[in-house]
Structure 1
Amino acid sequence: MLLINLFIIVNTLLPDYRGFLLNGWHTLIVAVVEIFLIGGVWWGSLIASHRIAGPLYVMVREIESISEGDFTARVNLRRYDMFQPEAEAINQSMEILQKRIDRIKSIVDEIEKQPGGYAPATPDHLARLRAELEQFKTT
């Protein structure tokens, strides 16, 4: 592109130079082709940036939901977006985490259903709770 423009400028500034002859119509055709090429590059970069920035926005939004305690949040991307494997990994991790929390809730429900309401937990309940909680690495 720039090389063609350079030849046009040289032809304009040096009328005796015969290296690259362009008359009025040829110059117009070259200009139109350049406009289409520049427009195509602009459009392609716009689409590419949306395929990157869009998924990142969705991932950040869903991770913020998770940090607020919503473990049902999932990263759903458009099929042509970038970062599909990363979104799938986040979703699988969230499913595993949600199942672990559900198991802990179920053990607590069993303890609450014991006769007498909030009776002390049995050693079995405590062992199961401890086993579930030890799956979380906190330090």
Structure 2
Amino acid sequence: MIWRRRKSLVNPKQQIWFGLELVVVAIGFNLICFFFLFLSPISDLFGPSNDELLTALLNTIYLKWPLVIISMIVLLLIGILMSHRLYGPLYGIHSVLDKWLTGDKSARLRIRKFDYLLPLMKPFNAVLDKLEKEQQKASDLAKAAIKQNTGSDLEQKAKDYLANIEARDEAEQ
């Protein structure tokens, strides 16, 4: 089932850190590119005879800083969106497993259409369905054994059932 998430930030701390790390990497990459592409070739301009050319170059660089800042903000927002598409499904998996541990066996994973872990949803839910069926089958067999048998017969039936489960598990592997 594909659905829409209600929160903008599923895990704000981790998502914002992810976006900031992306911005830091982009800034570092841009600084390295700036150094190798511009700073090394213009190092000869730092003489008294080239003051006008150097001033013109620095003015051009200063005019582009707002564009750099805007691009970093956009990059931060893209990083948050990317982390939302990753942390949302992880949060969903965690929630489903918590519900299963508290006894809610009907809980299933729901992931949005554009989330990164969408291909994981069907196999994950199939595992939960199989586990639920196995638990229901074991419960039904235990109830039937209790109704039919008493004492040592019940103990022997339980041992036989466990041996059958182990044999089947070994055969599946």
Shorter-chain TM range is 0.5 to 0.7
**How has the CA–CA distance of structure 1 residues 63 and 40 changed in structure 2, closer, same or farther, with 3 Å as cutoff?**
same
Q: Does structure 2 conserve the Cα–Cα contact (< 8 Å) formed by 1:104 and 1:132?
A: no
Whether 1:120 and 2:154 are equivalent positions in the alignment is: no
TM-score for both structures, normalised by structure 1: 0.63
1:75 corresponds to: 109
TM-score for both structures, normalised by structure 2: 0.53
Q: For residues 14-71 of structure 1, give each alpha carbon's deviation from its aligned partner in whole angstroms, at most 9, with x where no partner exists.
A: 77342683475x4564122112211121111111111122211111111111122322
Whether 1:134 and 2:165 are equivalent positions in the alignment is: yes
Q: Which amino acid aligns with 2:133?
A: K
Whether 1:102 and 2:97 are equivalent positions in the alignment is: no
Whether 1:21 and 2:56 are equivalent positions in the alignment is: yes
Equivalent residue in structure 1 for 2:85, among 39, 51, 60: 51
SS in structure 2 of the partner of residue 63 of structure 1: helix
2:72 corresponds to: 38
SS in structure 1 of the partner of residue 56 of structure 2: coil
Q: Which amino acid aligns with 1:130?
A: Y
1:115 corresponds to: none
Gaps of 5+ in 1: 113-117
Q: Say how many residue pairs are matched.
A: 124
Q: For residues 106-130 of structure 1, give each alpha carbon's deviation from its aligned partner in whole angstroms, at most 9, with x where no partner exists.
A: 4456567xxxxx442799xx49x82
Q: Which amino acid aligns with 2:56?
A: L
Q: Which amino acid aligns with 1:36?
A: I
1:65 corresponds to: 99
SS in structure 2 of the partner of residue 77 of structure 1: coil
Q: Does structure 2 conserve the Cα–Cα contact (< 8 Å) formed by 1:71 and 1:98?
A: yes
Q: Does structure 2 conserve the Cα–Cα contact (< 8 Å) formed by 1:75 and 1:91?
A: yes
Name the structure, 1 or 2, with higher relative contact order (CA <8 Å, separation 6+). Answer: 2
> Percent sequence identity over matched residues?
19
Gaps of 5+ in 2: 1-29
2:17 corresponds to: none
Q: Which amino acid aligns with 1:120?
A: N
Q: Which amino acid aligns with 1:97?
A: L
Supply the distance in 2 between the matched residues of 1:103 and 1:34 (Cα, whole angstroms): 62
